[in-house]
Amino acid sequence: MEGEQTLASALIVDDDAALLRIHARALTNRGYRVETAPDGEAATHAIEKSQFDVILSDIDMPTMNGIELLQKVRAHDPDVPVILITGAPSLETAVRAVELGAIRYLVKPVSLQVLVKVADDAVQLHRIARARRQRGLILGNNVDGRYNLRRDLGRGAEGLVFEAVHAFTGRAVALKVVSPDVRKSHLPELRARLLREARALARVRHPGVVEVLDGGVLDDGTPFVVMERLDGRSLEGLLTTRGKLSSDETVAMALQLCDALEAVHAAGVVHRDLKPANLLIVRDRDGSERVKLVDFGIAHVNENSDEKLEKLTGVGELIGTPAYMAPEQLCALPDVDARADIY
């Protein structure tokens, strides 16, 4: 968990006192505020008195087992993530646990590293879901009176991308917004980077560069960017599947990429993060394949151009993906220009 986030609370339920202490200590050392319960009845009382970010419960307990406790939890709080743990796994129990909304089903013995990682993931997803609800970023909701969120396209450490449909034209688009769970101290920089990406893309008009269509701000002031919805897969995914490309495919893609970069650089923009993950292979209307350059989040815009963007990176700060950086980027030299993209 991030150090600046609110301390997470966990309820651990197990009739094995020794194991209960071990698991509680592991989460306490991680930074959780932990309550424990020796059985389902005690856990029910704890849930009625307090709210928790995650609940971890043994299944095989007397009086009230973990499945019955899960039903009680769901009746009281349908959103809190519940992780069930058992020493006697069965397919029937696992299916029932998932049906009732358990997010994980673990089999003893569970390593403490796995236990903490699963709890961390559950808390993060719970907080993202809660923040999304608070900001209206729920599938089916309308953003800015114009875009209906249809499905998730991706989630990274810094941003969320949704497939959305324009309420009036019916056009499918990609809507990108800063992730709700980032550190508060990082928000100004990430918001500025999102705006940087929108403004950089707005300067470029080329079929080999993802097109920015619109933008705006949420009610809390967080900006969002609307881009064309691309159906395809990344070059990284293609290489992972096939291992390598033929020489003809490589030359064709390289020529298309160079053509796109020429337009990008002519607009005074340096991408600074060219790599297979940021190249999408899509199909044109005639069925032919085309390379699309995406993700201008760390792009640099020439300060001599008409529209200046604020400087977001300091001298000596490493920006980009090391495996795909030019030497001047690796050395964090100032004034990295278009030659870094060509490299």
Helix (H) or strand (E) holding 220: none
Measured CA to CA, the distance from residue 336 to residue 200 in angstroms comes to 16
Annotation says 273 is catalytic: yes
Q: Is the peptide bond before 334 cis (omega within 30 degrees of 0)?
A: no
Measured CA to CA, the distance from residue 31 to residue 3 in angstroms comes to 9
Q: Select from 43, 282, 253, 9 the least CA-distant residue to 127.
A: 9
Q: Select from 12, 46, 6 the least CA-distant residue to 27.
A: 12
Give me the catalytic one of 273, 295, 335, 337: 273
**CB 123 within 8 Å of CB 82:** no
Amino acid letter at 209?
V
User: What number of residues does the chain have?
Assistant: 343
**CB 24 within 8 Å of CB 34:** yes
Measured CA to CA, the distance from residue 224 to residue 220 in angstroms comes to 11
**CB 150 within 8 Å of CB 175:** no
**CB 113 within 8 Å of CB 39:** no
Q: Just list the catalytic residues.
A: 273
